[in-house]
């Protein structure tokens, strides 16, 4: 048997602003943007060089969903972006004026910093110890 997680939904306020953030600020690639209806699209983005799990950018459609934009994990880090070059990618965050929530530190598992996406969701940028 083989199973894997293909997509993780990230609730967003607007498709186009979320696409712009992830593709222009984080250099993710736009994998798919398919119109499903007048109000719904199937939008997938993925970090450069990744062939694994992709983010499904899901536009909030109800008041309850809108209340979750930017706080899907109750203020905890909810997303973990691994890198092969921490300094390069950390500098890219700085250059793109992305909010750094916790400055880089070295832990037993690697170098890590916490940043916020355009809505305030928290992400770890991690270069694991090899």
Q: What is the mean pLDDT of residues 41-49?
A: 97
Six token digits for residue 85: 């070059």
Question: How would residue 81 be classed by pLDDT, with cut points 50, 70 and 90?
Answer: very high
Q: What is the mean pLDDT of residues 19-23?
A: 98
Answer for the pair 66, 13: CB distance below 8 angstroms, yes or no: yes
- Cα(34)–Cα(9) distance, rounded to whole angstroms? 15
Span 116-128, pLDDT tens digits = 999 999 999 999 9
Q: What is the mean pLDDT of residues 14-19?
A: 98
Kindly give, in sequence order, each residue whose CB lies less than 8 Å from that of residue 51, ignoring residues fewer than 6 positions away: none
pLDDT value of position 130: 84
Answer for the pair 59, 69: CB distance below 8 angstroms, yes or no: no
Set out the domains of the chain in order of their start, with CATH numbers.
Answer: 1-69 (3.10.180.10), 74-130 (3.10.180.10)
**CA-based torsion, 93, 122, 44, 38: positive or negative:** negative
């Amino acid at each position: 048997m083989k199973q894997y997680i293909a997509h993780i939904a990230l609730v967003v306020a607007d498709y186009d602003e979320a696409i712009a953030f992830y593709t222009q600020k984080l250099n993710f690639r736009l994998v798919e943007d398919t119109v499903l209806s007048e109000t719904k699209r199937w939008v997938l983005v993925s970090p450069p060089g990744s062939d694994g799990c992709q983010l499904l950018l899901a536009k909030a459609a109800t008041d309850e969903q809108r209340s979750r934009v930017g706080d899907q994990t109750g203020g905890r880090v909810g997303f973990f972006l691994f890198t092969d070059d921490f300094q390069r990618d950390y500098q890219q965050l700085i250059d793109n004026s992305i909010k750094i929530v916790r400055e880089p530190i070295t832990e037993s598992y690697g170098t890590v910093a916490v940043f916020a996406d355009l809505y305030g969701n928290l992400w770890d940028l991690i270069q694991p110890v090899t």
